[in-house]
């Protein structure tokens, strides 16, 4: 089963990793316990909306951006096409052109 908290955790951990920050730094900035942040990142704990907003604030990442990333990852997990890719019609046209003639 695809679970929102798993993907939120992945996105938050990746964002923190890209910033080279520790669990301690981000949890302090978000005013939450280190253990709680760690559990959220591992998808163990369901973050409340308030604490999710606090964590996003600590990461200086808009909640909308985090959720868009989450949505893209879940779309991939669902086997759906991630939006904003080349439309199939156009892709078909490209392949047609590339196919050797004769």
Tell me the closest approach of the beta carbon of residue 1 to its own copies, in angstroms: 6
| Residue 77 · residue 2 · CB < 8 Å | yes
- C-alpha to C-alpha distance for 56 and 26, rounded to whole angstroms: 10
Output 24 or 68, the one with its CB closest to its own copies. 68
Among the listed residues 60, 84, 89, 97, the single contact to its own copies using CB under 8 A = 84
Q: Is 6 in the site for its own copies (CB under 8 A)?
A: yes
Asked if 83 is part of the footprint of its own copies (rule: CB under 8 A), the reply reads yes
- For residues 40 to 79, the per-residue mask of contacts with its own copies, x marking binding by CB under 8 A and - elsewhere, is ------x-xxx-xx--------xxxx-xx-xxx-xx-xx-
Query: Using CB under 8 A as the criterion, which residues of the chain lie in contact with its own copies when the complex forms?
Result: 1-6, 46, 48-50, 52-53, 62-65, 67-68, 70-72, 74-75, 77-78, 80, 83-84
């Amino acid at each position: 089963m695809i679970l929102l908290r798993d993907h939120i955790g992945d996105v938050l951990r990746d964002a923190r990793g890209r910033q080279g920050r520790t669990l301690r730094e981000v949890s302090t900035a978000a005013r939450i316990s280190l253990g709680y942040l760690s559990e959220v990142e591992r998808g163990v704990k369901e973050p409340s909306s308030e604490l999710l907003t606090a964590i996003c604030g600590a990461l200086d990442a808009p909640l909308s951006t985090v959720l868009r990333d989450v949505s893209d990852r879940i779309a991939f997990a669902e086997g759906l096409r991630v939006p904003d890719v080349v439309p199939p019609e156009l892709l078909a046209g490209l392949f047609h052109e590339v196919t050797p003639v004769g």
